[in-house]
Amino acid sequence: MAEGPLVADASPVAAARSDSALAGALLTTLLPAGDPSDWDSWRWAGPPPPDAVARRIGRPHLTWAFVSPWFARQSVGTALLDAAVHALMRVGYTELASPFLRGNESSTLWHWCAGFGCSPYPGSLRAIREQVARRL
């Protein structure tokens, strides 16, 4: 997946108080705006504008989320997500995309508890059939 520009203000890092060890981090980038159930909405057709974040072009995308196993289940990920969402809202974004891998139950539960909804998977057989039918 070709990632877009970094949304630095919505990419928080958490450190442990005792020794400043990395407790967790989120990386938020921009995807092109479009229907998330369409493969083409996950890649920029060309280089995104250098001022895409300032102009609020595209859709924020939680590209990477990490919580150290030492800090798992202590709300670190949720606190980081809260910081990222508030940063996005301050600049005018109203949505955040975040895919996760099938079979990753802890990630699935975390996304569900955080209020993320499911969008159709563009790689599903039904979606592929619909896309092929539109192009014929």
The residues near 21 (Cβ < 8 Å, ≥ 6 apart) are: 15, 68, 70
In this prediction the pTM is: 0.79
Total number of domains constituting the chain = 1
Lowest mean pLDDT among 30-34, 91-95, 100-104: 100-104
- Whether residue 1 is predicted with pLDDT greater than 70 in this model: the reply is no
Query: What share of residues in the chain are helix, strand, coil (percent, to 5)?
Result: 35, 20, 50
Residue count (the chain): 136
> 3-class DSSP state for residue 73?
coil
**Span 93-112, average pLDDT:** 81
**Span 98-105, average pLDDT:** 79
Mean pLDDT of the chain: 85
- Whether residue 84 is predicted with pLDDT greater than 60 in this model: the reply is yes
Residue 45 placed within a domain: yes
The CATH number that applies at residue 35 is 3.40.630.30
C-alpha pair distances (Å), 53 with each of 41, 99, 112:
17, 20, 27
118: amino acid identity, one letter: C
Residue 2 placed within a domain: no
Residue 62 placed within a domain: yes
The token pair at 32 is: 């092109």
**Span 2-22, average pLDDT:** 85
